[in-house]
Chain A
Amino acid sequence: MSETAVINNHQDEIENTSTGLSNKKLMMWLFLASDVMFFGAFISTYLIYRGKSLVGPYPSEVLDIPITTVSTFILLMSSLAMVLALHYLKENEKNKATLWILGVVLLGTIFMGFQFYEFNHFAHLGLTPRTNIFGTTFFILTGLHGGHVTIGILWMAFLAYGSHKGTLRSDNAIDLEIAGLYWHFVDIVWIIIFTVIYLISANDMPPAGSELLIH
């Protein structure tokens, strides 16, 4: 009995909560649930409107799977960097931790660079949010995902600074862990977006009869 009491005491010193989970971590999970509904509604909108564009450019004319595969790979690798950063932070290896957090920032930024290039490229091909319903759903969904990545990058940069200054350490590694939950979530959302928009829709042609409607 006394042994368990000691353990309980120790636990309480770390987190005096009913579940033993940290409040911050619990809230991040809840926020992610909220964000699931946010992206869920946008992805549903995309799927319901898929193939409903009345004018081009259509997905098959603009989407470039190989390029997006590269940017997807880069974003997934940032999750690996995130895991390593947390590992080294917990091991008290300050410099390695800082380096890997900066790795997350770098990979995230490269991903955003790809998105910037893609948006620009699509605009050159004549696809903007105003062009057709594909443009509307594509730009708003991927744009909001990009917004999430950008917030994540800024957050990671802030944490990298903290790790460098020694204020983010193994005893408050939870702060990095929570940011990591967010980062991994945003990555998972991208996997779904990549599947739904790029892989599934890449061959979407003009809907039958749409030429008749327009011309």
Chain B
Amino acid sequence: MTTKPATKSLVFPRFFPRPNSKTGIWSWIATVDHKKIGTLYGITSFFWFIVAGLEALLIRIQLSQANNDFLSPDMYNSLFTMHGTTMIFLVVMPLSAAFFNWLIPLQIGARDVAFPRLNALSYWIFLFGSILINFSWITGEAPNGGWFGYAPNSGVTFNPGKGMTYWVVGLNVLGISSIAAGLNFVTTIINMRAPGMSMFKMPIFTWMTLVTSILIILALPILAVAGIQLQTDRIYGTHFFNSLGGGDPVMWQHIFWLFGHPEVYILILPAMGIVSEVLPTFARKPIFGYSFVVFAGAVIGFMGWFVWSHHMFTVGLGPAANSAFSISTMLIAVPTGIKIFNWLGTLWGGSIRFNTAMLFSLGFIAMFTIGGLSGVMHASPPTDAQQQDTYFVVAHFHYVLFGGALLGIFSGIYFWWPKFTGYFLNEKIGKLNFIFMLIGFNIQFGPMHWLGMDGMPRRIYTYAENMGWEGSNLAATIGGFILGVGVLLFIYNVIYSMIHKEVAGADPWDGRTLEWSTSSPPPEHDFDEIPQVKFRDDFWFKKYPETIKEYYEHGEIEEDTEDKLSEKSNHEDEIHLPDMSYYPFILGVGIAILGAGFLSNIYIIAISVPIMIWGLLGWSMEPVNDPHPDGH
């Protein structure tokens, strides 16, 4: 490859030299390495997982007995609002993002994502946004309108404090982060695949990341719209959701759920992708019906747009709308069911290893199926009319979001931990961790089905004696603490692993996909040589070429790719990694101050503008790679 003549470019005055430290705090602040950013995402979102978990335990203590006064009603409102908001936007989404960051370049055989600096920006905005929204605890005005922020209850008339303003500004800041990350990952997956890796040779996790990222790109702007409308209503006195001015509070529900239902699939699809990687590895079989799993995921992502009004069956939209959304909701169970059967088919006849990652994945399938079934139940409007706003719904979505998304994510943590760190997590502690979490989870959320059927309403800070609810509520509280012990065991396991350092090789599980072909942890440039892909599960067939015939009976699968590959690989001689940069951090700080400005006053907004301009101009005038003294 001939070296291009150095192109002249505009130079923005630098106030400090370009960062290049490999260790210390500045190496993290200025990093553009997808693995480091993934680690940052993981640590930050795990911290918020602990916070949101503690909020849940406080709620459970309050509900453990009738007429309890452990929490004030106001505090209770704030706690359930922040528990939901934190778990969704600061835990499950960014934990998934941690996996995207770590794994997507490794799985598609790339050296980084398409836009490394944008990737860093996504993380910094996420961090500052999460601090912004939780800062409300310190000012004593935590959001209290529920994670769904229903109008008019979230409006300034009924909710005059700053709480919901924190919520709406925080979510808008977080939305920028998510959209930027979504754009980055779709571009990366479509455009940065290793030679030979056609779309239908990509690992399932990569596919699910693609679907999730497309959903993020399309759904988060709608949340931004809802947020802007609510914010102008609250701060500038517009009438979007104010019926006295001609607005309509139901409009909020439509816009919010038009975002909110795709959001549900944004939360669950990454976990489905993780499970689809773990099961084939530990069953030592390729995924059963690869194209069905892929298309089912894509269909879920598509149909997820046509079901939002099932959150609104009791609003009174009329029989036509209710029937249509009921049918579409029942239909979306079909691709979900396809996935479940494909996972079972993957296990069928496999030589299964029951280690912790596998157990979490099996737990995922079982719990997610329960949650899915109760979901189909309230797809029917008459049934939903009985269940709306009861603990039955709480049970349902915790079965899909904890039993589903989080168990899947824990499975992924145990599965890829050796790849991330080079060391195993302890299996014995891991199995204990799984058992405590699974049992605690079921004791906590199982009884909520009965409570809901019995009519116990959600979001009410206490309940009367003699309703027959005490026993189930106490069980749920005890279950919550058992679940908490499970999480503590996980933390203990992480510390144990860091102390005992049980070394894992590059390919500890006999893996199938490209990330296992590089060392654990991977070098900064991920792959010494960009892999050449010929098959789905390419790494597996490189290790066991004798199995190619078994799985591709027609044998001559795309003979000709070989020639194309060798041609393409010739000029992969140099490794170019993007240089580190401060500007994503600077721009992130600017956006955070802008958010704080919307919460306080216009002068703070004025401070944010020059910082953002500094970040943007510096960024756009800074080359991805500074010219090196030795010529390349």
Contacts and interface: CB of A to CB of B under 8 A. Distances in A.
A136 B255 contact: no
A131 B396 CA distance: 43
A166 B8 CA distance: 8
Contacts, number: 128
B39 interface: no
B187 A26 contact: yes
A21 interface: yes
A13 B571 CA distance: 9
B258 A41 contact: yes
Assign chain A's interface to a size class: 35 or more
Contact of B571 (A12, A19, A165): A12
Contact of B245 (A19, A34, A45, A136): A136
Contacts of A12: 568, 571
B315 interface: no
Consensus secondary structure, chain B interface: helix
Interface in B224-249: 224-226, 228-229, 232, 236-240, 244-248
A23 B220 CA distance: 22
Interface stretch (A49-57, A85-93, A113-121): A49-57
Contacts of B244: 54
Contacts of A161: 10
Interface stretch (B189-197, B325-333, B356-364, B442-450): B189-197
Given A54-B246, A133-B239, A30 B222 contact: no
B218 A34 contact: yes
A99 B192 CA distance: 36
Given A45-B251, A158-B620, A31 B183 contact: yes
Consensus secondary structure, chain A interface: helix
A139 B193 CA distance: 44
B589 interface: no
A165 B8 CA distance: 9
Interface in A50-68: 52-54
B337 to A, nearest CB: 29
B173 interface: no
Nearest first, the 10 closest Cβ-Cβ pairs linking A and B are: A133-B246, A38-B221, A41-B225, A136-B238, A17-B191, A37-B221, A23-B114, A18-B193, A52-B246, A34-B217
6 contacts: A1-B563, A30-B187, A34-B221, A42-B225, A45-B251, A139-B238
Given A30-B183, A37-B218, A54-B244, 19 more contacts: A12-B571, A13-B2, A17-B191, A26-B187, A34-B183, A37-B219, A37-B221, A38-B221, A41-B221, A42-B225, A45-B229, A48-B251, A129-B238, A130-B239, A133-B240, A133-B245, A136-B247, A137-B240, A140-B229
Interface of A: 1, 5, 8-9, 12-13, 17-19, 21, 23, 26-27, 30-31, 33-35, 37-38, 41-42, 45, 48-49, 52-54, 129-130, 132-137, 139-140, 144, 158, 161-162, 165-167, 171-172
Interface of B: 1-2, 7-10, 114-115, 179, 182-184, 186-187, 190-193, 197, 217-222, 224-226, 228-229, 232, 236-240, 244-248, 251, 255, 258, 563, 567-568, 571, 617, 620
